[in-house]
Amino acid sequence: MLKSDSLAFAMHGAALAVLQVRAGSALPQALSNVFSRSGIDMPPQARGAVQDLSYRTMRALGRVDALLTRLAPKAPTPPVLHALLCVGLTLISTSASAESPQAYNAHTVVDQAVTAAASDADMAHAKGMVNAVLRRFLRERDSLMQDVMREPAAFWNYPVWWIDSMKSTYPTHWQTLLAAGNLQPPMTLRVNRRRTTVAAYLDKLSQSNMQARQVGNDAVMLEVAVPVVRIPGFAEGLASVQDAGAQLAASLLDLQDGMRVLDACAAPGGKSGHLLETADIDLTALDNDARRIERIAENLQRLQLSAALTTGDATDKAWWDGKKFDRILADVPCTASGIVRRHPDIRWLRRKADSAQLATLSAQILDNLWQMLVDDGKLLFVTCSLWPQESEAQAAAFAKRNQAIRLPAPGQLLPGVAMPEGTCASLPEDHDGLFYALFRKPY
């Protein structure tokens, strides 16, 4: 049995996670499945190592797939063997950089990959092949890399359809956006204004030898990311992890004490918490998954805040009591193309047709929620997609269908691209790719 603190253990766990993503599972669920395997001792440090290697591999999958077609033209079987080789090639084909801060000794990686294969009954027969494939890459690295990097999917580490869509949608910024999606995201925190101030919390971070800077009204960005358990005051609700771009929602809704507010599609509750930190409101947090409702409850309990947690479908009214809301936050389902740096598996799980299907669902949600809004009330439409079909085109069509009055809002946030002058001046370039459209319901 592999030692849990070994690189071989982490590589084997990552291979199992990659295998599940290949079969259609989202990476967080795949990792959860790996961590819960019976009979396997998975201490926190080992979990972190498995997660790190899994995310690295997702960000490099286009390149390592192309390499494997040259190094092993006949796809290695069983599939877990192919996944292990992907993990190994990721570690020895990526230099230490912002994309991958920690580099591993190449020969150590080869040795540990062989050890990982030998420990698994399904791969033990192929440990010699693992050794041969990885060592051949080391011998022929320059020529192999030069060859595969001619392929767009290998160069950018995205499916070709995604690259082509980005080119046509953002002809000026497509390269910046693709590159940004391959970087590890920063750790940005939201300071709970009910419990402390940004200045006081920055001092608290400094006392813990953590460098940070303010990047929004309630947002601070850590210079170096740390595990959540090390964030000062996190357990006590002083701060939450939330992207700077995602923190714009609360201020855009212009909340006032006493308002009745709906956060639709609310799980896991990050925006719900921010709304409650901003004003004394009567909040209903809606989600169609009871298990995800539990996540909202856990987050609000940590923040010492409360809301009416409701399980229901945002496309119908079965859950609604008939009393209209003053404000509605509609963070609708989407392809999540704007948060691919946080969820690098998305690019490999999505299909081009998904955008149209999700846009249809989102339109149903928006039209349904609009009927629940008081006259002169405001609805904030949010999506974390970069595709206009799900964002700007959706907003324009919604306004036309419902005679909604469109109010000033940031529109599309592009990761790595500065906002136009005078727009969200405090927002750093290092944010997720969210879209905001704000509407007022006429009398």
Residues recognised as catalytic: 384
Is the distance from CB of 265 to CB of 296 less than 8 angstroms?
no
**159 CB neighbour count, 10 Å cutoff:** 18
Angle, vertex CA 401, rays to CA 400 and CA 402, nearest 5: 95
Q: State residue 326 phi and psi, 5-degree precision.
A: -80, -30
Name 60's Cβ contacts closer than 8 Å, sequence gap at least 6: 89, 90, 93, 94, 157
Distance, in Å, from the CA atom of 359 to the CA atom of 334, rounded to the nearest integer, reads 7
Identify which of 360, 421, 408, 361 has the alpha carbon closest to the alpha carbon of residue 380.
Answer: 408
Is the distance from CB of 409 to CB of 341 less than 8 angstroms?
no
Distance, in Å, from the CA atom of 185 to the CA atom of 430, rounded to the nearest integer, reads 8
Long-range (24+ apart) CB contacts under 8 A made by 121-130 are 122/78, 122/80, 122/81, 123/78, 123/80, 123/81, 123/84, 126/76, 126/81, 129/72, 129/76, 129/81, 130/81, 130/84, 130/85, 130/88
- CA 241, distance to chain mean position in Å, is 12
Q: Is the dihedral of CA 358, 360, 362, 365 positive or negative?
A: negative
Distance, in Å, from the CA atom of 73 to the CA atom of 249, rounded to the nearest integer, reads 49
